[in-house]
């Protein structure tokens, strides 16, 4: 016997595909493995690292106050996990990170030495990337109920939109105040989501250029290569910027300023953000482990847990096209 380890919402998806074919999930697994090309296993993968700072578990996010001159560090623990990032001006919630302006000024994949830009009428650098061992993306929107329903035919499951809504609620931000995220550790090219190549210890460090509220969340997509068909924790920390990080931030801002910045705007009184002391997290759809026993024994050295899950879900998602979506 072999055990397929997935989470409950992945099992619900596989059960839907199996029902359409009048088969069991175990039978799907056998078909998927039989159709898969030779797999060499994952012997080269790095082991997880100890977490430092606050651990964001799958299905959750957290709002962090990041004063000017401090850095937000987001780091992989096991690897392979995309993180959605929203950012707001701590003293005026109307100013926030603008993924489109950032994409227009820095390209689709901002990296070391680039800045993240805010929305109009401010349109200014609010964070600088001062260290990075990974990729970013500004082209794909956050996953949501709509996306899962339209593409996969499923709906009530963990998704970035609802995770973000809950995480930012701690500071009184309403669901309609979320914005398009900058996607950390997301590998894309030519409008396509690629396999996530981040490994344990890969990280990105962003310097706050003004007082900010940063809200990272663990991307809930477990049905594409965005997170390699799994959901994993990441660690987040906020610390004072080092001299080297502050210097890199200044250089990044100087380059951005050379592009031309709007004149300061005289606006009505701002709306500061502050934490609600009575806030208790209530994230929906926290994924739980599920197991399927398959009446075939596969070589565990050749096909590990993650590889089997990858093979089966890739095959099942491809089957959706057979049924017309």
Residues 67, 238: Cα–Cα separation, whole Å: 9
**What mean pLDDT do residues 176-198 have?**
95
Tokens of 301: 């050295």
Residues 6+ apart with CB under 8 A from 21: 28, 319
d(CA 263, CA 280): 40
Query: CA 266, CA 32: separation in Å to the nearest integer?
Result: 61
Residue keyed to tokens 């499923």: 154
What are the pLDDT digits (tens) for 102-115? 999 999 999 999 99
Closest CA to 85 of 178, 196, 166, 158: 178
Residue with tokens 């998704």: 159
Residue 176 confidence class, pLDDT cut points 50, 70, 90: very high
**Which residues make beta-bridge pairs with 84?**
183, 217
CB 39 within 8 A of CB 299: no
pLDDT at 299: 72
Residues 16-54: tens digit of each pLDDT: 999 998 999 999 999 999 888 765 444 446 789 988 899
Pairing of strands 203-208, 125-132: antiparallel
pLDDT, tens digit, for every residue of 125-172? 999 999 999 999 999 999 999 999 998 988 889 999 999 999 999 999
Q: What is the pLDDT of residue 46?
A: 79
Distance in angstroms (rounded) separating the CA atoms of residues 305 and 178: 35
Say if CB 39 and CB 302 are below 8 A apart: yes
Above 80 in pLDDT, residue 186? yes
For residue 39, what pLDDT is reported? Answer: 57
Question: For residue 157, which of 176, 139, 173, 144 has the smallest C-alpha distance?
Answer: 144
Which pLDDT value is given to residue 300? Answer: 66
CA–CA gap between residue 197 and residue 49 (Å, rounded): 16
Q: What is the pLDDT at residue 44? A: 47
pLDDT classification of 296: cutoffs 50, 70, 90: confident
Q: Which residue has the higher pLDDT, 37 or 297?
A: 297
Closest to 181 measured CA to CA, from 59, 117, 83, 85: 85
| Cβ-based neighbours of 56, under 8 Å, separated by 6 or more | 62, 83, 216, 217, 218, 233, 234, 235, 236
Average pLDDT, the chain: 91
pLDDT reported for residue 301: 56
pLDDT digits (tens, 9 = 90+) for 71-101: 999 999 999 999 999 999 999 999 999 999 9
Distance CA 41, CA 258 (A): 49
Q: How far is CA 78 from CA 55, 235, 325, in A?
A: 12, 10, 33
On the question of pLDDT at 323 being above 70, the answer is: no
Q: Look up the pTM and report it.
A: 0.91
Query: Which of 312, 253, 84, 51 is CA-nearest to residue 178?
Result: 84
What's residue 322's pLDDT? 57
Per-residue pLDDT of 229-271, as tens digits, reads 999 999 999 999 999 999 999 999 999 888 778 777 778 888 8
| The residue to which tokens 């477990």 are assigned | 222
């Amino acid at each position: 016997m072999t055990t397929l380890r997935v989470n409950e919402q992945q099992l619900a998806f596989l059960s839907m595909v199996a029902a359409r074919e009048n088969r069991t999930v175990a039978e799907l697994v056998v078909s998927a493995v039989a159709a898969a090309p030779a797999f060499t296993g994952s012997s080269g993968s790095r082991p997880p690292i100890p977490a430092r700072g606050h651990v964001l578990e799958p299905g959750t996010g957290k709002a962090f106050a990041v004063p000017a001159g401090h850095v937000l560090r987001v780091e992989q623990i096991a690897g392979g996990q995309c993180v959605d990032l929203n950012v707001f001006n701590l003293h005026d919630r109307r100013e926030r990170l603008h993924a489109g302006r950032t994409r227009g000024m820095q390209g689709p994949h901002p990296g070391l030495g680039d800045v993240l830009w805010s929305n109009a009428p401010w349109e200014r650098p609010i964070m600088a990337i001062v260290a990075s061992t990974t990729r970013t993306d500004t082209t794909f929107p956050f996953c949501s109920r709509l996306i899962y329903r339209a593409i996969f035919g499923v709906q009530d499951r963990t998704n970035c939109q609802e995770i973000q809504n809950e995480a930012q609620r701690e500071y009184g931000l309403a669901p309609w105040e979320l914005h398009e995220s900058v996607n950390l550790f997301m590998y894309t090219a030519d409008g396509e989501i690629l396999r996530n190549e981040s490994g344990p210890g890969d990280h990105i460090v962003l310097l706050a250029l003004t007082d900010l509220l940063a809200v990272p969340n663990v991307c809930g997509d477990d049905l594409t290569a965005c997170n390699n068909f799994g959901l994993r924790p990441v660690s987040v920390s906020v610390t004072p910027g080092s001299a080297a990080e502050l210097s890199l931030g200044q250089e990044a801002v100087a380059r951005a300023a050379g592009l031309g910045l709007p004149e300061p705007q005289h606006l009505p009184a701002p709306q500061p953000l502050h934490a609600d002391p009575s806030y208790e997290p209530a994230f929906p759809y926290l994924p739980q482990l599920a197991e399927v026993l398959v009446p075939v024994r596969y070589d565990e050295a050749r096909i590990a847990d993650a590889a089997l899950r990858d093979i089966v879900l890739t095959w099942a998602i491809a089957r959706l096209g057979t049924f017309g979506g």
